[in-house]
Amino acid sequence: MQDPRTVDVAETFVSIQGESTYAGLVCFFVRLAGCNLACRYCDTPAARARGAPASIDGLVTDYRRSGAALAEITGGEPLLQPACAGLARCLREAGPGPVLVETNGTRDLSVLPAGVIAVMDIKCPGSGAAGSTDWDNLGRLRPQDEVKFVLADRHDYEWARDVVRQRGLARICHAVLFSPVWSALDPGQLGQWILEDRLAVRLQVQLHRVVGMP
């Protein structure tokens, strides 16, 4: 059983937030180790391996010293670790700005503390993990939370478009994000599809990649 005062960490770093509606801000990242999926386009496969234990108190201190405007807990899949919720709460209490938890949507979001923002990824067919989503999580979304689709091609787009419309996602969370797989789908093409359908989603690119940051 995991010590509730520690988490297994792949890495920490400060960078420009590249995704979500908080893109562009300086962000302190805590990448937790371990993942229950192996998406075809995964850009952090090393995070699936075991990391190093780190105390929540130490991570909070690092966040305070970083000078970042917000913090994000990512992975891997951070909600695999029971202590993730405690880390999110402590970062939220300590920091000057919001705390985001990026999750692949397979784990129960209700463990996240009030005030923490979930960015829930709904896996499209192109990921190879489309059957993994816990659809009950849509009922657990709060007004501040965001939903993200990463799209590899037109088939992914149509699949995600239908989910957005059928599930009424634009009405139950802060933002619905459509992001092209880097180097696989042209952002301009994705934007054209969104425009043609007048879809109530936000086009995003991985800003940190555009500016050459981790």
CA distance 181 to 166: 23
Residue 122 pLDDT? 98
| Whether residue 101 has pLDDT greater than 70 | yes
| Whether residue 3 has pLDDT greater than 90 | no
| Whether residue 2 has pLDDT greater than 80 | no
Percent of residues, the chain, with pLDDT higher than 90: 87
Residue 1 pLDDT? 63
Residue 95 pLDDT? 82
Contact 32, 81 (CB under 8 A): yes
Digit-coded pLDDT (tens) for 140-195: 999 999 999 999 999 999 999 999 999 999 999 999 999 999 989 999 999 999 99
Parse the chain into domains and list their residue ranges: 6-210
Residue 18 pLDDT? 94
CATH topology of domain 6-210: TIM Barrel (3.20.20)
Task: Convert the chain into a string of H (helix), E (strand) and C (coil).
Answer: CCCCCEEEEEEEEEEECCCCCCCCCEEEEEEECCCCCCCCCCCCHHHHCCCEEEEHHHHHHHHHHHCCCEEEEECCCHHHCCCHHHHHHHHHHHCCCCEEEEECCCCCHHHCCCCCEEEEECCCHHHCCHHHCCHHHHHHCCCCCEEEEEECCHHHHHHHHHHHHHHCHHHCCCEEEEEECCCCCCHHHHHHHHHHHCCCCEECCCHHHHCCCC
207 vs 11, which has greater pLDDT? 11
Q: What's the one-letter identity of residue 193?
A: W
| Whether residue 110 has pLDDT greater than 80 | yes
Residue 54 pLDDT? 98
CA distance 204 to 191: 9
Digit-coded pLDDT (tens) for 123-140: 999 999 999 999 999 999
CA dihedral 147, 150, 151, 152 (to 10 degrees): -170
Q: Name the average pLDDT for the chain.
A: 95
46 vs 192, which has greater pLDDT? 192
